[in-house]
Amino acid sequence: MAYGIILSPIKWRLVGKVAVITGAATGIGQATARLFVAHGAKVVIADVKDDAGQTLVNELGTDCSKYIHCDVSKESHVAAAVNLAVHSFGKLDILYNNAGIVGSLSPFEALPVDEFQKVLDVNLLGTVIGIKHAAKAMIPAKQGVIISTASIGGSIPGIAAAYSISKSGVIATTYSASAQLTKHGIRVNCISPGLVATPLSLSHFRNLNPDLSEEQFEKMVDLENFSNIAGARSTPEVIAKAALFLASDDSSYISGHNLVVDGGYLTNRSFSFYSNLSS
């Protein structure tokens, strides 16, 4: 028996779907919001960057997008974002836990505990809170998709210890949540990007090299050191396409999966480049 792969029509993979995307005002979240709307979804943009978030809504249109100020470390903010989606568009089909911060680059012996806690609160606790409130909205409908942004830093050590630890926790949370929620028809997956040219990653590298310009950083990301696929580039749009796949019915039999999107970096490289950059 021959089996073929049938993909949804390219332009309409999320028709009728409603999504909440955290950290959606810039970077990967912004690219994902644009792509989801282009594929027919209605999107709640949840972020702490109010001006950028509202500008994106103005671009996408208020008929298919809403903005809400949302600090994902605060449960009431996340609950309000989910409620806005349900109140404005009638339901919640997709949650993308994308908001995150890098935090301190201090070695363990000098790591400020309050900064460490802040990274955990945003990256890990924020993911847990998002899954909790998305699940509450999705369980009655017996369907839904939850995606979180992890990182290859959650699988191999990096100079930002708190970030790596938090992202490792995101991967573990994905496995645990999937184990519990698939019985309700809810799929839970995460994406582990490699280095992507975003405002967040640029600010991180400027902690190592304060004189690093945006143009220099973009060229650095394109270097062979960060991808093993000839001619391929790491951009927010690349990660957005991975999120679209996981959000759509094309991945209907996938749950509890950590989708690594790093150009093959994880299997071939290490984080040794940090020492070179900071020297």
pTM: 0.86
pLDDT(217) > 60 = no
pLDDT(188) > 90 = yes
DSSP per-residue codes, 141-183: GT-EEEEEE--GGGTS--S-HHHHHHHHHHHHHHHHHHHHHGG
Query: Which of 65, 73, 104, 151 is labelled catalytic?
Result: 151
| Local confidence band at 226 (pLDDT 50, 70, 90 cut-offs) | low
- For 248-268, write each residue's pLDDT tens digit: 999 999 999 999 998 887 877
Across the chain, what does the average pLDDT equal?
87
Query: Which of 96, 163, 166, 251 is labelled catalytic?
Result: 163
Q: Would you list the domain boundaries of the chain?
A: 18-278
Residue with tokens 């000098």: 110
Query: Which of 65, 167, 178, 251 is labelled catalytic?
Result: 167
Active site annotation includes 155: no
Considering the four listed CATH numbers 3.40.50.1470, 3.40.1160.10, 3.40.50.720, 3.40.50.2000, the one that applies to the domain covering 18-278 is: 3.40.50.720
Over residues 167-171, the mean pLDDT reads 98
CA distance 38 to 23: 19
pLDDT(224) > 60 = no
Return the pLDDT at 145.
99
| Local confidence band at 10 (pLDDT 50, 70, 90 cut-offs) | low
Element of type H or E holding 47: strand 42-47
What's 120's DSSP letter? I
Active site annotation includes 163: yes
pLDDT(80) > 50 = yes
Active site annotation includes 167: yes
CA distance 118 to 104: 10
Return the pLDDT at 22.
98
